[in-house]
Amino acid sequence: MTLIPLKLGLIGFPLGHSLSPQLHHGALKAMDLPGEYRLYPIAPLPEGQWALTTLIERLRNGELAGLNVTIPHKPNVLALLDDMTPLVRRTGSANTLFTHGGRLIGDTTDVPGFLADLESWLPPEQAAGKKALVLGAGGSARAVVVALQERGWRITLAARRYTQAEELAASLGGSFRILTLEADQLAKSSDTSLIGNTTPVGMFPKEGYCPWPEELPLPEGAAVYDLIYNPAETTLLRWAREMGLPARNGMGMLVEQAALSLERWSGRVVPRAAMWEAVQ
């Protein structure tokens, strides 16, 4: 039987740093599935509105089999969908688009992708603590907070702009402590068992920066999870390891969310090992 090639891709801007093609091509090869995964750089709205709408229509009419979505278009695609999963409604963003019964559906694999990688790695002592400090209050923070809420974590939000953290907390419900990213504020979170960095601070090409104040030691006994994967070791992770703290970058989350997307499109179990090999 001849298999129809899966035509897949990623919407976002910019996309020069993306590892998604390597991940998906590695998995498709290991699964012996024909297909391609392309990058579709589309400018932020309003400039990119026509290009975004046109590309979404190619998915709707069957020319494409599936699309991933990244910054800045995760919330922008919602208005173009026919339906969305409950997780998309809660997080306000979609990173995986597919069709079902002629309808265009939006899903997010960010939440389960983060949880799967976190829980496969998090040492038992930190996992038992259930106190998380989330740095940032943007889209990535929302996915991480929703994931941690599902597992019953007590969450403190720390953002450069206090009002942004307040808005995130209000939109998600629950009880949050809110801080700013300043040493005197972060010192109040010394009892945290997990620090999750969702800010872009420290990402290539500005590797030397860190969202954590240099003059403040990281909390003793905390595990540090940085969603950044380029570079593989951010300044935050290096500081954590120098203190002897468990530390992990975001590559595992990237692999897991990509695998979950491909499982949605292909209907098959995706070999994570093939994805890891493709990006090592």
> How distant, in Å, are the alpha carbons of 185, 198, 205, 225 from that of 141?
19, 5, 21, 12
Alpha helices, H only, the chain: 20-31, 49-60, 86-91, 110-121, 124-129, 139-150, 162-172, 183-186, 235-242, 251-266, 272-279
Q: How far apart are alpha carbons 52 and 246 in whole angstroms?
A: 40
Smallest CA-to-CA distance from 15 within 59, 70, 78, 58 is with 70
The number of CA neighbours under 13 Å toward the Cβ of 86 is: 2
Quote the longest CA-to-CA distance of the chain: 65
With 0-12 / 13-18 / 19 or more C-beta atoms within 10 angstroms meaning exposed / middle / buried, residue 93 is buried
Active-site pick, 7, 29, 74, 206: 74
What residues contact residue 54 under an 8 Å CB cut-off, 6+ apart? Answer: none
DSSP 156: E
H or E element in which residue 67 lies? strand 66-69
C-alpha to C-alpha distance for 251 and 150, rounded to whole angstroms: 22
Q: What is the CA radius of gyration of the chain?
A: 19
* Catalytic residue flag (residue 188): no
Residues known to be catalytic:
74
